[in-house]
């Protein structure tokens, strides 16, 4: 049932938006297949073609069709080379981690940061299924300073829980104290990155503030998802101060290159 649902044509899935009929289809599908069901599927197109992922059959269609964040996939495929070190900040289930692991090869390294413990389990399973020995999962977040910060996981309406985030301040919602590290601290005992992918649900500025020494001294290129206009503006200003130029590669993503 999961395989069938994962490969259901988009025209049929759109019926879920039809009044009354959509509710019937929704109810039947949840009776036949639990909301948290997962199936293994192989990406069929795009730079990640051939990579196996454990997917939610209701939401995984974009992954197997090669349509998940295509601009990011293209940048990684074009710019990553064998032997590079790649940091994946906010790895989630690992599409970009796995694509990077393939591109950098056995002589390269991928360090994959994911603070959500449940998602980290799926991330590790995906890495193991694909047989990549050049990936290290770091079950922690990235912030402007190292320590413990409250992490609010995504609710169950997000099948892959990709919108969990760190919160700070007196008025912040309650969360689970979770380990965070600044990249400047992390690189003291880890290989420095040649490239960074950053998707941290609004913490972009905090990540950059904690990476000033890294960015100024080692000059990795960065592809970063911006989660608001304010974050985009502040992040670009910081990157400019660190000697980077930035360009938009789609509506939400910025590529930052050392000037």
211: domain CATH number?
A: 3.40.50.150
What pLDDT is recorded for position 37? 82
Residues of the chain short of pLDDT 70, as ranges, are 1-35, 154-163, 169-173
Q: Which residues contact 87 (CB under 8 A, 6 or more apart)?
A: 110, 111, 113, 183, 193, 195, 196, 197, 220
For residue 8, which of 66, 81, 76, 57 has the smallest C-alpha distance?
A: 57
Both 192 and 78 in a single domain? yes
The HSE-up count of residue 81 (CA atoms within 13 Å, CB side) is 3
Residues 250, 161, single domain; the answer is: yes
CA distances from 229 to 122, 135, 162, 234, 239 (A): 31, 33, 20, 9, 15
Q: How far apart are CA 114 and CA 89, in angstroms?
A: 7
Cβ proximity of 236 and 246 under 8 Å: yes
Same-domain check for residues 121 and 237: yes
CB of 127 within 8 A of CB of 97? yes
State the pLDDT at residue 168. 75
* pLDDT value, residue 176: 87
Q: What is the pLDDT of residue 170?
A: 63
- Residue 238 CA to residue 34 CA, distance in Å, equals 45
Whether residue 102 is found in the same domain as residue 79: yes
Same domain assignment for residues 61 and 81: no
Per-residue pLDDT at 12: 46
Whether residues 128 and 187 share a domain: the answer is yes
Residues 243 and 182 occupy one common structural domain: yes
Domain span at residue 74 reads: 69-258
Do 34 and 128 reside in the same domain of the chain? no
Q: Are residues 116 and 240 in the same domain?
A: yes
94 and 37 inside one domain: no
Check residue 35 and give its pLDDT: 65
Distance of CA 63 to the CA centre of its chain: 13
At 14 the three-state DSSP class reads helix
In the sheet where 165-167 sits, what is the strand order? 141-142, 176-181, 147-152, 165-167
Provide the pLDDT for residue 21.
52
CB 53 within 8 A of CB 94: yes
């Amino acid at each position: 049932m999961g395989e069938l649902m994962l490969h259901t044509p988009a025209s049929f899935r759109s019926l879920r938006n039809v009044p009354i009929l959509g509710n019937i289809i929704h109810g039947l599908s949840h009776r036949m297949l639990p909301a948290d069901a997962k199936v293994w599927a192989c990406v069929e197109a795009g730079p990640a073609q051939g990579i196996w992922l454990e997917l939610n059959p209701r939401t995984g269609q974009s992954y197997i069709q090669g349509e998940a964040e295509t601009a990011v996939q293209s940048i990684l495929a074009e710019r990553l080379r064998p032997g590079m070190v790649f940091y994946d900040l906010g790895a989630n289930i690992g599409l970009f981690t796995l694509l990077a692991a393939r591109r950098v090869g056995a002589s390269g390294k991928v360090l994959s940061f994911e603070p959500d413990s449940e998602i980290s389990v799926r991330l590790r399973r995906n890495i193991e299924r694909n047989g990549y020995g050049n990936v290290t999962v770091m079950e922690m977040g990235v912030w402007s300073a190292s320590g413990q910060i409250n992490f609010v996981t995504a609710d169950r309406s997000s099948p892959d829980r990709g919108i969990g985030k760190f919160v700070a301040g007196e008025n912040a919602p309650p969360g689970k104290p979770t380990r965070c590290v600044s990249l400047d601290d992390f690189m003291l005992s880890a290989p420095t990155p040649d490239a960074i992918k950053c998707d941290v649900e609004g913490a972009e500025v905090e990540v950059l503030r904690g990476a000033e020494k890294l960015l100024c001294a080692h000059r990795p290129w960065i592809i970063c998802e911006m989660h608001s206009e304010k974050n985009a503006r502040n992040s670009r200003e910081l990157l400019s101060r660190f000697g980077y130029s930035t360009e938009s590669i789609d509506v939400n993503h910025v590529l930052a290159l050392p000037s």
